[in-house]
Amino acid sequence: MLYVAVAVRAFRRYATYTAATLAGIFTNSVFGVIISYTYIAVWTHNPSAGGYDVSDAVTYAWLGQAMIMTVAVWGGGATDDLAARIRTGDVALDLYRPVGLLGWWLATDLGRAAYHLLTRGLAPTLVGAVLFDLRYPDGPVTWLLFAVSTVLAVVVSFGIRMLVTASAFWLLDDTGVKQLQIVVAMFFSGLVVPLVLFPGWTRDLAMALPWAAFLQVPADIWLGRRAGDEAWWGLIFQAAWAAALLGVCQVVLQRARRKVVVQGG
Amino acid sequence: MALIEVEDLSRTFVVRRRTGRVRRTATEVRAVDHLSFEVERGEMVGYIGPNGAGKSTTVKMLTGILVPTSGRLSVAGVDPSRNRVDLTRRIGVVFGQRTTLWWDLPLRDSFELLRRIYRIDGTRFRQNLAEFCELLDLGDLLDTPVRQLSLGQRMRGDIAAALLHDPEILYLDEPTIGLDVVSKSRLRAFLREVNAARDVTLLLTTHDLQDIEQLCSRVMVIDHGSLVYDGSLAGLHTQGGSTRTLVVDLVDPLPDEGRIRVEGASVHKVEGPRQWLSFPTDASAAPLVAAVAASYDVADLSILEPAIEDVIAELYSRR
């Protein structure tokens, strides 16, 4: 199967940069500790803020660190490789192959995400588990739901990043759009402040936006704050955004291809 | 029916330029202008022209990634822009300045991915890979990441990659650019072999005229979007109105800087006892040599063929 082979190669490719991975794990662990103490201070002051207790909050801090690279909250990943190919014009070579861009790059990004989950995701979580009293999924079903939710989180994030990258077909450089997406993603993914802490309608809004699929939904499944039907609704929410974004990506890439083909490049 | 048929093909681009504070003027640029030619299966054709002559635009249309503005185009019996994806399975492309290989992965992985992309039959894939590894000496490089390969090694990898799916046509865009003399001649030998043994049609764009001299029986020269020459390499000399040169070393210089006078040739340079005589490319050198030897004391003789670079420069400058 082509896409599996592509994902495996992407995994291996990232695995060649061991030093970068180790440095990243260290950074994630340091930030995990800092954010944990910040949350402990907040929840000592208000022990049921956002419906979380203090162990929920600390666990959320470490899940956030695990998700940064896995879900590529800051952007990056396979879509950056595509952006580079658009800038240099190498993307024209991709048109000489009988495969579509979207499936190819999604497979690449999933391979990358798998590598980051096993390294930048797992290792800091183990550090957090040693230093703090974390909460864990309460059974195999919850673990499974969390796993599916993580995959969907990557796909939603990929969809957004792909749209940012595709803008380069018209703008030639996606740096500005990318920075905008980083700021929005940082805020609305709940990476800095959990979305459950947002007041009133801003919380409802944030919960409906695709960035909620990055961290808040998988974290709530992990913590058991979304159990039973709630967990399933969480997955449906993610899957709906994933499908919608991939659909838009497909249309945009089709237009981008026509632009290259019709207008030259 | 010819493998590649191009009839009255044109492609214009609209270039918008800022001419005032807000005003923009659109100008039409004709990159390819009523181009017609045919290429038969198994030919090796050199496609040359100065930068911006329309070479890449033509190749892009032939491969279906650019839609022609007007004209008719048929490659392997299909219209490229309508059947781009089908056509990708039947053509191979090599760019001297770009790579289709995966930078961070061993060469072997790139080949494996290509096997899946083109759904190459397992046995056929192994046969091809074994053959290319032997001919291109890639065996020891298969497990080296592409980023660690030298330019020559990478280029060999790229050419193997373009041929794994048994394409009928191979487009090469400056395949020898930046390579050393040994790598160049090796690559050319391989291309000759592929053309002869596999009946692959080669269309080669290049600025290195030695590529053409050593590979192509036919050369097409394009300038300002249209063909200025299509024929054999030898014919290019006649067309270019180039001359051959007979270099005569006399035993003693002629008195008063005198020049050799002989039918059918004229002296264009004198340096002591040595004189340079130009004569038309299509004339035989034998009677000229005899005539010179009959009237003068000759110490030595040699004939200079016109450099193809000069011939082509002459063709370009005519327009």
Q: 3-class DSSP state for residue B270?
A: strand
Asked if A156 contacts A241 with a C-beta cutoff of 8 angstroms, the reply is yes
pLDDT > 50? residue A265? no
Would the CB atoms of B67 and A262 count as touching at under 8 Å?
Answer: yes
Give CA–CA dist B135/B187, Å, rounded.
Answer: 10
Look at residues B237, B240, B180, B174 and name the one whose alpha carbon lies nearest to residue B208.
Answer: B174
pLDDT > 80? residue A139? yes
Would the CB atoms of A2 and B104 count as touching at under 8 Å?
Answer: no
Residues B218 and B249 placed together within one structural domain of the fold: no
Task: Name the domain boundary from B192, B213, B238.
Answer: B238
Would the CB atoms of A9 and B102 count as touching at under 8 Å?
Answer: yes
Give CA–CA dist A78/A158, Å, rounded.
Answer: 8
pLDDT per residue as tens digits for the range B175-213: 888 888 888 998 999 999 999 999 999 999 988 888 888
Contacting residues of B for A6, CB less than 8 Å apart: 113
pLDDT > 60? residue A262? no
**pLDDT value of residue A9:** 92
Would the CB atoms of A98 and B112 count as touching at under 8 Å?
Answer: no
Q: What are the sequence ranges of the domains in chain A?
A: 2-263
Q: Which domain holds residue B194?
A: 4-238
Give CA–CA dist A103/A78, Å, rounded.
Answer: 12
pLDDT per residue as tens digits for the range B142-175: 999 999 999 989 999 999 999 999 999 999 988 8
Domain count, chain B: 2
Number of CB pairs < 8 Å for A and B?
59
Q: Average the pLDDT over B267-280 and give the result.
A: 88
Residues B309 and B188 placed together within one structural domain of the fold: no
Dihedral over alpha carbons B115, B121, B124, B125 (to 10 degrees)? 20
Look at residues A14, A142, A128, A22 and name the one whose alpha carbon lies nearest to residue A66.
Answer: A128
CATH of the domain at B60: 3.40.50.300
Closest CA–CA distance from residue B66 to any residue of chain A (Å): 4
Would the CB atoms of B63 and A96 count as touching at under 8 Å?
Answer: yes
Question: What's the ipTM?
Answer: 0.82
Q: For residue A38, count CB atoms less than 10 angstroms from its CB and return exposed for 0-12, middle for 13-18, buried for 19 or more.
A: middle
pLDDT > 60? residue A117? yes
Contacting residues of A for B98, CB less than 8 Å apart: 88-90, 93
Contacting residues of B for A13, CB less than 8 Å apart: 102, 104-105
Binding-face residues of A in 76-95 toward B, CB within 8 A: 88-90, 92-93, 95
CATH of the domain at B308: 3.30.70
